[in-house]
Amino acid sequence: MSLSDLRTLGRTGVRVSPFVLGAMNFGARGRTSHEESIALVHRALDAGVNAIDTADTYSHGESETIVGKALRGRRDEVILASKFHNAVDDDPTHRGNSRRWLTRAVEDSLRRLDTDHLDLYQIHRPEAVTEIDETLGTLDDLVRAGKIRYYGTSVFAPAELVEAQWVADRRKLNRLATEQVPYSPLIRGIERETLPIARKYGLGVLTYGPLAAGWLSGQYRVSAAQPESYRAENIPGRFDIDAPANAAKLVAADTLAVLAEESGLTLIELAIGFVLAHPDVTAAIIGPRTEAHLDAYLRAAEVTLAPDVLDRIDEIILPGTVFAERDTGKIPDALADPALRRSVA
């Protein structure tokens, strides 16, 4: 495998590199300066990465601004993707999937990114209070207006993906082109239904979190000290190696690290190789914060896992396994809200 081995994004005919550069860590959220972030963009493009994924919510728009600066003079080299739905500021009306917000959100993203169109515009999360008909109809209008080329979803449940296809067919809209989901050897839930549905409907699949938010960085080992994580302060308990809820995940991460060593690989190479070996995965989104992080990812792009290594991963972590619901990217409302599970007298 190499970054020059381009892959077709679903049924769009667009050819993308196996890596998409994720810009979530650019700016305040990832504590990465504009200069550092721009250098990462240029280094990734020079290495052969031809797609970038960001979102309006990342550092409240700062990530999009940085990407726009980095792409001056190079915009035509890049398949540029962004997302809408999550809050961009403290105004409660500046979020969601409604036509009212979406028509403003896309203009704000285009301005920050300093471009006249997005190649891919994604619904960052589903929203129960907004009809999917309204959201897809608005996205279809944006395609016809030339503001976006394609649209997709992110962390949609299997049933929501199917419903979106049905709505598009019924209303004769442009159909969604992609789904973005978390996927790694430690987070395999999408293998149950999401990936088969993507195959059925010809969706491109962009996966994020190949290192399971750092659990497969090589630092999470049995009997090792608690690794430092800038994410830990935002999600209490998720990275605590002493928490009972993380015990099985820690053992699995440690066992994968041993397998990587036995195979002459880094754990990062093992994790990346696993993700890109799945035939229904189009590309893996990587989110480096430093040049060292990016270099480690780029080295992993040259790795192809042998069948016996993939078989061993399946033995360590059964296909379809999810250790914690929060790792899936969105806890379903029916699980998160007690009112949806209990009758009220």
Residues 6+ apart with CB under 8 A from 157: 126, 332
Q: Which tokens hold the place of 95?
A: 């979020």
- The sign of the torsion formed by the CA atoms of 80, 162, 154, 16 equals negative
Longest dimension (CA), the chain: 63
Backbone angles phi, psi at 18, to 5 degrees: -60, -25
Element (H, E) at 62: helix 62-70
Question: Which residue in 58, 121, 150, 201 is the catalytic one?
Answer: 58
327 residue type, one letter: D
Q: End-to-end CA distance of the chain, in Å?
A: 59
Tell me if residue 151 is catalytic. no
Are 179 and 186 spatial neighbours (Cβ–Cβ below 8 Å)?
A: no
Distance CA 344, CA 125 (A): 28
DSSP helix, strand, coil percent of the chain (3-state; round to 5): 45, 15, 45
333 residue type, one letter: D
Detail the DSSP E strand segments found in 85-226.
Answer: 118-123, 148-154, 178-182, 204-208
Neighbours of 319 (CB within 10 A): 10
Element (H, E) at 181: strand 178-182
212 residue type, one letter: A
Residues 6+ apart with CB under 8 A from 97: 84, 85, 123, 126, 127, 130, 134, 135
Residues noted as catalytic: 58
